[in-house]
Amino acid sequence: GAVVSQHPSRVICKSGTSVKIECRSLDFQATTMFWYRQFPKQSLMLMATSNEGSKATYEQGVEKDKFLINHASLTLSTLTVTSAHPEDSSFYICSARPSGRTYNEQFFGPGTRLTVL
Amino acid sequence: GQQVMQIPQYQHVQEGEDFTTYCNSSTTLSNIQWYKQRPGGHPVFLIQLVKSGEVKKQKRLTFQFGEAKKNSSLHITATQTTDVGTYFCAGHGGTSYGKLTFGQGTILTVHP
């Protein structure tokens, strides 16, 4: 149980285009999902907290108009990187926190590697 | 804001040697979690520590949470090649959303 999927796993796009990444909790409901960014051999940097049915909470320094987050259901959150540029190339990982659990462990998706040319 | 420092950044050991990674938080934590990320993979939850002074064991792994709930450690006894990966601690400050602050991670390599 507690499986999180992410799609696509890898995407290459041209500068200026937008890319949508989906994060799904497959066998549990998640009121809260998180989006992280990870550079090679570095830690996970939290970008935003996504809450079902409400606006996402963005971390300081993360542009909400550039990284659009939608958490339309208890099993799906999407991250859209708008007008992507080469500096947006990174590994994007989502995680989901099961609703109603006492422990707040997060279950991570396999990640999406974005390359912007 | 809350910061979590983790050392060392890298650790190279011979198979059979022990390994320890340490985390320190700038603020008192509600709980601390540990994750393992294999090369090319995603973080996988290992354990959560909640109580002051708590010690938990998983086979060769021993996790400790400090008395002040600001530091933690992960110790692996007699490392194996399957232990290779990056170990992250992640501190939870007690917010209702469950936001975690990750340490920088310790990259462990094990030489056979």
Each residue's pLDDT tens digit, B12-49: 999 999 999 999 999 999 999 999 999 989 899 999 99
Q: What is the pLDDT of residues A59-80, one digit of tens each?
A: 999 999 999 999 888 999 999 9
Token pair for B104: 């920088």
β-strands A19-25, B4-7: how paired?
Answer: unpaired
Answer whether A46 sits within 8 Å of B102, measured CB to CB. Answer: yes
CB contact under 8 A, A41 and B107: yes
Instruction: Check if A102 contacts B (Cβ < 8 Å).
Output: no
Interface touch A93/B43, C-beta < 8 Å: yes
The 10s digit of each residue's pLDDT in A2-38 is: 899 999 999 999 999 999 999 999 999 988 899 999 9
Instruction: Dig out the tokens for A43 from the structure.
Output: 């830690």
CA distances B52 to A114, B27, B29, B48, B96, Å, are 40, 14, 10, 12, 20
Residues of B in contact with A109 (CB under 8 A): 42
User: Touching check for B100 and chain A: CB below 8 Å?
Assistant: yes
Search chain B and give the residue with CA nearest A43: B104
Distance CA A53, CA A32 (A): 10
